[in-house]
Structure 1
Amino acid sequence: MAGALPDGEPVPADGSLPDEATRDVGANGFAVYVHVPFCASRCGYCDFNTYTASELGGGAGRDEYASTVLRELDLAAKVIQPRRVDTVFVGGGTPTLLSADDLGRILDGIDRTWGLAADAEVTTEANPESVDPAYLARLRAAGYTRISLGMQSSAAHVLRVLDRKHTAGRAPQAAREAREAGFEHVNLDLIYGTPGETAEDFAQSVQTVIEAGVDHVSAYALIVEDGTRMAARMRRGEMPYPSDDVAADRYLAAEQALTGAGFQWYEVSNWARPGGECRHNRLYWTGADWWGLGPGAHSHVGGVRWWNVKHPSAYAQRLAGGVSPGHGRELLSAADRHVEDVMLRVRLRDGIALDRVDRAGAERALAGGLLEPAAWAAGRLVLTLRGRLLADAVIRDVVA
């Protein structure tokens, strides 16, 4: 379970924002994130804000959850009126533990409140074992256009280390079922560097993703978070810690295989076939506004960031009392927003204009082979493949 939230400054009871924050909401795009905090079981590496049935109190279960989210949406409608909703992303947890009807109710509520753009991208995450063809068909009929499935690996022994419950073949099969149900875009997530994973295991995982016919792949190095079951096992010496060298080798293998299959990187950890990029994430990465619905969800509108109380019971109780579920907020300075903009845009294939970064730091990165010379000549900072491996170091060096 995720750690404690920062306090920040208090959120007004009605959730209101400063006038300057609401003056031009959505001018650079507007997104809605919906957090669904339920999981059937907890994976050993996960520190997300999720809860199993035994960890929840009264009034916080799945059956009433959609109605609770809609109450927050009612509050949000009194605070802002964006021009339109460009993207919706339902994450978790395991959103597909809710019924397809409830996920449809939430989407319909967003549309009635703020209006979905005619070409809105609507994504839900899903665990492979939580969906079947009938469920996927109902979800597609409800208006969802994109699904992101947590595959992690095609090796059964790696899935066991990660405490994943699906079989090795279920994720690619679910991806094919989603395509057959009419989903326009399908993503499979991979995790690399798990203790016990071999180079052959990961190569087969990437090949399995390619053969599944998806148009988007996310691949992340395993990160061991404090407070997780995996971290405890590593401290006890039951399994080794991940290796940075192994992670770099896995990344290079993913790049080679995916590029060879027609994918292209567009963010350090994300590859897509042409037209398959996740528009929702691009809005995050390029400074758009978004409202996060659900316990622990974060929002950002006009330079104000706030976050909701974490526990589903506290979240439901606040809304039942007509009070904002916001736990705290911060008003970002122009300097704060600049730093965040650099941190995010440097990771993108589009890169960032050179006049937005520290020139001396950028020149060092260029000399070290971490930046594309052709992009530099055109006035932009774009990472090379080696630069992607060292993206965090480049970011530290070029933040002006």
Structure 2
Amino acid sequence: MDESPVPFVLPPDALRGVGSRPFGVYVHVPFCATRCGYCDFNTYTAGELGSAASPESWLDGLRRELDLAAKLLGAAPPADTVFVGGGTPSLLGAGGLGHVLDAVRSSFGLAPGAEVTTESNPESTSPEFFAGLREAGYTRVSLGMQSTARHVLTVLDRVHTPGRPTRAVAEARDAGFEHVNLDLIYGTPGERTSDLRASVEAVLDAGVDHVSAYALIVEEGTALARRVRRGELPPPDDDVLAEDYELIDSMLSAAGLRWYEVSNWAASEAAQCRHNLGYWLGGDWWGAGPGAHSHVGGVRWWNAKHPARYSSVLAQGHLPVAGQERLTGDDRKLERVMLELRLAEGLPLDALDGDGLRQAERAVSDGLLDRAAAAKGRAVLTDRGRLLADAVVRRLVV
């Protein structure tokens, strides 16, 4: 099969309006020290990559990609948001992450007041790491915690020193980070209600201003999926997941963190993740790095997944695009409903067609959409509706 790179172009109508819409940059760091059993992200350990790729070759490729991206978009504004995810970005160290942000600055530039986030594994952070991030220009940090229960972390193949995530929060705060997020995963086989409650209490005691909480999904091809298939572990139970979500929401709400997206809570509007809001509101973003996805003006594309292939294509002077799709009107409508309905502000009812409006009326009657919000022209999920968000979306787009 011919794998010669093909020049990537965007149609004129996709480029029209670039510069007038908010613009974000996502950077994917594909490196991990170990592979978590539940994770299906595009990540690689050093043993899996061998000599095929390295952080140095990846960073060189990243610089090339961002420079080519800026030339392709032409009128792209400075980045309003930057999000460095993975993988485990903190494995690059503060110096490496500083180089990443320098690459964004030199290609697109940063808008005044830009939000700059990096994910970090608490085990690869330190006071010096956080101080270095602040000096480099990062404004926000997101730390993976998942759970405080050892047996839950064992099922997830996560390795944390006891108390390390909350100590990392304190170190980030001491370094000057006003906005710090902790991630939780709920519904892991063997997790008790008391385990989850203890994890949420630890999050609250840490004093973060943002929390993300995700139901465990057993993804095909993962070690966790193989264990479930062999009968070693039970699959997550939908009723338990609903009860867990309600517990998380009640505890966070009581502490002053309000949901602004189904899986995300913030202490204030300023604490909300602006980069992710760009995704949910259909904005433009360039995803750089192996396997990263991008979206500009109704066109979506994705990069070659393997770091070696990614770097080799860029070395030839081409963008490492592996595939693309142009969203139809129906596609964009579906995505708007699917994403905006997840937000606390909801979706304007005039975004729905006649059938969708009739279904919205039924959803109000069924207690899934807020009646008062509907009277003001918006579809907003009720507490019960959040538990059934995917089902509500399907009803509104039939």
> TM-score, normalized by length of structure 2?
0.96
Q: Which moved more, 1:114-123 or 1:13-22?
A: 13-22
Q: CA deviation at 1:320?
A: 1.0
What's the counterpart of residue 210 of structure 1?
A: 204
CA contact (8 A) 1:26 1:289 kept: no
User: Does the CA contact (< 8 Å) of 1:15 and 1:76 recur in 2?
Assistant: no
Which residue, out of 70, 76, 86, partners 2:69? 76
1:151 touches 1:189 (CA, 8 Å); kept in 2?
yes
| 1:16 Cα offset (Å) | 2.1
Give yes or no for the alignment of 1:345 onto 2:340: yes
Cα 1:11–1:27, aligned 2, differ >3 Å: closer, same or farther? farther
CA distance in 2, matches of 1:131, 1:234: 32
Instruction: Give the Cα separation in 1 of the matches to 2:67 and 2:4.
Output: 17
Question: Residue 24 of structure 2 aligns to which amino acid in structure 1?
Answer: A
Distance 1:171 1:292 in 2: 28
The amino acid that maps onto 1:37 is P
Report the equivalent of 1:367: 365
Cα distance in 1 between the residues matched to 2:103 and 2:88: 20
Q: Which residue in the other structure is 2:17 paired with?
A: 24
In the alignment, structure 2 segments of 5+ residues that lack a partner are none
Amino acid at match of 1:49: N
Is residue 133 of structure 1 aligned with residue 143 of structure 2?
no
The gaps in structure 1 that reach 5 residues or longer are: 1-9
RMSD: 1.4
Name the stretch that deviates more: 339-348 or 53-62.
53-62
- Distance in 2 of aligned mates of 1:207 and 1:259: 12
Which of these residues, 376, 385, 392, is aligned with residue 394 of structure 1? 392
CA distance in structure 1 between the aligned counterparts of 2:119 and 2:133, rounded to whole angstroms: 12
Q: Deviations over 1:76-115 (max 9, x none)?
A: 1210131221000000000111132221112112112212
The share of aligned pairs that are identical, in percent, is: 61
Read off the aligned partner of 1:55 and give its amino acid letter. Answer: E
Secondary structure at the residue paired with 2:56? coil
- Note the C-alpha offset of 1:27: 2.4
Report if the CA contact (8 A) 2:5-2:320 is conserved.
no
Q: What is the correspondence of 1:100-139 to structure 2 with a 5 Å cutoff?
A: 100-139=94-133
| 76-85 vs 285-294, which moves further | 76-85
Query: Structure 1, residues 252-279: CA drift from partner, whole Å, max 9, x if none?
Result: 0011100000000000000000121000
Where does 1:153-168 land on structure 2 (aligned, <5 Å)? 153-168=147-162
Q: Deviations over 1:100-135 (max 9, x none)?
A: 222111211211221211110000001110111101
2:259 to 265, 277, 282: 265
CA contact 1:66–1:103 (8 Å) conserved in 2 = no
1:380 to 378, 382, 392: 378
1:11–1:205 distance in 2 versus 1, CA, 3 Å: farther
Give the Cα–Cα distance (whole angstroms) in 1 for the partners of residues 115 and 161 of structure 2.
29
CA deviation after TM superposition for structure 1 residue 59, in Å: 4.9
Deviation track 1:334-383 (CA, whole Å, cap 9, x = no partner) reads: 22111111110000001011111211110111011011111011110000
Which of residues 216, 237, 244 in structure 1 aligns to 2:238? 244
Q: What amino acid maps onto 2:105 in structure 1?
A: D
Q: Deviations over 1:130-185 (max 9, x none)?
A: 11110111011100100111100011111111110112311111111111111121
Q: How does 1:222-241 map to 2 (within 5 A)?
A: 222-241=216-235
Q: Is the 8 A contact 2:5 2:313 kept in 1?
A: no
Number of aligned positions between the proteins: 391
TM-score normalized with structure 1 length: 0.95
Q: What amino acid maps onto 1:75 in structure 2? A: L
Name which of structure 1's ranges 72-81 and 383-392 shifts more when overlaid on structure 2: 72-81
State the AA in 1 paired with 2:211.
V
The alpha carbon displacement at 1:240 in A equals: 1.0
Structure 2: distance between partners of 1:61 and 1:55: 11
SS at match of 1:197: coil
The answer to whether the Cα contact below 8 Å between 1:188 and 1:216 also exists between their aligned partners in 2 is yes
Letter in 2 for 1:46: C
Deviation above 6 Å: which 4+ runs of structure 1?
A: none
2:177 to 168, 174, 183: 183
